[in-house]
Amino acid sequence: YNHFPRDLKWQTNDVTFRIVNYTPDLEKSDVDRAIRRALNVWSDVTPLTFKKLHKGIADIMISFGSREHGDHNPFDGPDGLLAHAYPPGEGIGGDTHFDEDEHWSKDSSTYNLFIVAAHELGHALGMSHSTEPSALMYPVYSYSTGYPLSEDDVEGIQALYGPNPNSRKVKPKPDAPDKCDPMLTFDAATELRGETLVFKDRFYWRLHPQIPEPEQVLIKSTWPSIPNKVDAAYENPEKDLVIIFSGIKMWALNGYNLVDGYPKYIHRLGLPKSIRKIDAAVHIGDTGKTLLFTDEEYWSYDEATGTMDRGYPRSIEKDFPGMNDEVDAAVYHYGFLYFFHEHVQYEYSYNSRKVMRILRTNSILNC
């Protein structure tokens, strides 16, 4: 996290705000609700209280405007700059402006007013931009559900104002995973049209064969309707689909687009109802089978017939000698299965039926 120079903050914990005008994109009550919720995000973790004024000058004056709107910091039309706010102080200090050339919404369809307002009000209270990708105060817009503050945001605002003396329990989002953490584990991994996607917590890394540095992206910013945690994923190149598993549901992607008709229950694949999640999944192109790993066992699904092969589940340890008995994630490349378990990666030869190499899990992330 960062603060503004001189750690600008309000000298009183009782801060006033006023909504000067409203966007026509939303009902007035929706705007009121978004702003109130955004303020509550910060008051929940500090001693700050926010009182609404309906006229006159408040500490935080909130307004919607486009292009040049009176502060010599013009907006730029649709997209690009979404909003800005001034750090605590007299006059324009604390004031928060939203670009009216954006379309504001209360869901993921366009820019979510609550999320942007929570970020901007962070500035109005003294928070500058964070370099932490999972933080609310990260400068780039991303849609997410659930509690908006990360641990980084909470630390930052409490460094200015202290904690809430009457706090109810909040659960801040954990910081973004560090790709060079030697103990890094994966949630899921899959190919997608020549790229490799690796899922961890609320993020995924995108690896392109010609670009050594992986790109870290919030899952929700690419697929708002996919949950924050992915259990398993695999690509069926013949169908040009990637299947994402989370809990008892699965989603299908065609490229980066969600396929209609999903999510579906994983039991549609033929798994018993007792299976509540899949740990890892991998498609073996040579055989047309998809292997689904759950706890210490695995299943074989025939993509051509759409049925589970007979004789399954089977033991992972028995059929993949040298492998651990559980799998976090798996991918298949040129005759080799790459099993990820905790911070270790096993390169398993499908033909030789043995482990050829053992590597660190994050060795594929250019570490």
Partner 1 sequence: SSAGPVPSEDLDDWLLAEKYLRHFYDLPVGLQGRRGEPSGHFTAKIKEMQRFFKLKVTGNLDENTLDLMKEPRCGVPDVGE
CB of 170 to partner 1, least distance (A): 23
- Identify the active-site residue in 68, 90, 102, 120: 120
Work out whether 4 is an interface residue with partner 1 (CB under 8 A).
Answer: yes
Residue number, 148 or 313, with CB nearest to partner 1 = 148
Dist CA 352 CA 349 (whole Å): 5
Dist CA 323 CA 330 (whole Å): 12
Q: Is 168 exposed, middle or buried (0-12, 13-18, 19+ CB in 10 A)?
A: exposed
Work out whether 128 is an interface residue with partner 1 (CB under 8 A).
Answer: yes
The structure tokens listed for 86 are: 């001034």
Q: Measured between alpha carbons, how far is residue 317 from residues 181, 226, 282, 306 in Å?
A: 27, 32, 17, 26
The structure tokens listed for 110 are: 């366009």
Work out whether 141 is an interface residue with partner 1 (CB under 8 A).
Answer: yes
Work out whether 133 is an interface residue with partner 1 (CB under 8 A).
Answer: yes
Work out whether 129 is an interface residue with partner 1 (CB under 8 A).
Answer: yes
- What residues from 207 to 266 belong to the interface with partner 1 (CB under 8 A)? 211, 213, 215-216
Work out whether 71 is an interface residue with partner 1 (CB under 8 A).
Answer: no
Known catalytic residue: 102?
Answer: no
| DSSP symbol at 173 | B
**First CA to last CA distance, the chain:** 25
CB of 140 to partner 1, least distance (A): 5
Q: Is 167 exposed, middle or buried (0-12, 13-18, 19+ CB in 10 A)?
A: exposed
CB of 57 to partner 1, least distance (A): 22
- What residues from 307 to 326 belong to the interface with partner 1 (CB under 8 A)? none
Q: Note the residues at the interface with partner 1 (CB under 8 A).
A: 4-5, 73, 75, 79-85, 99, 111, 116, 119-120, 123, 128-129, 131, 133, 139-141, 211, 213, 215-216
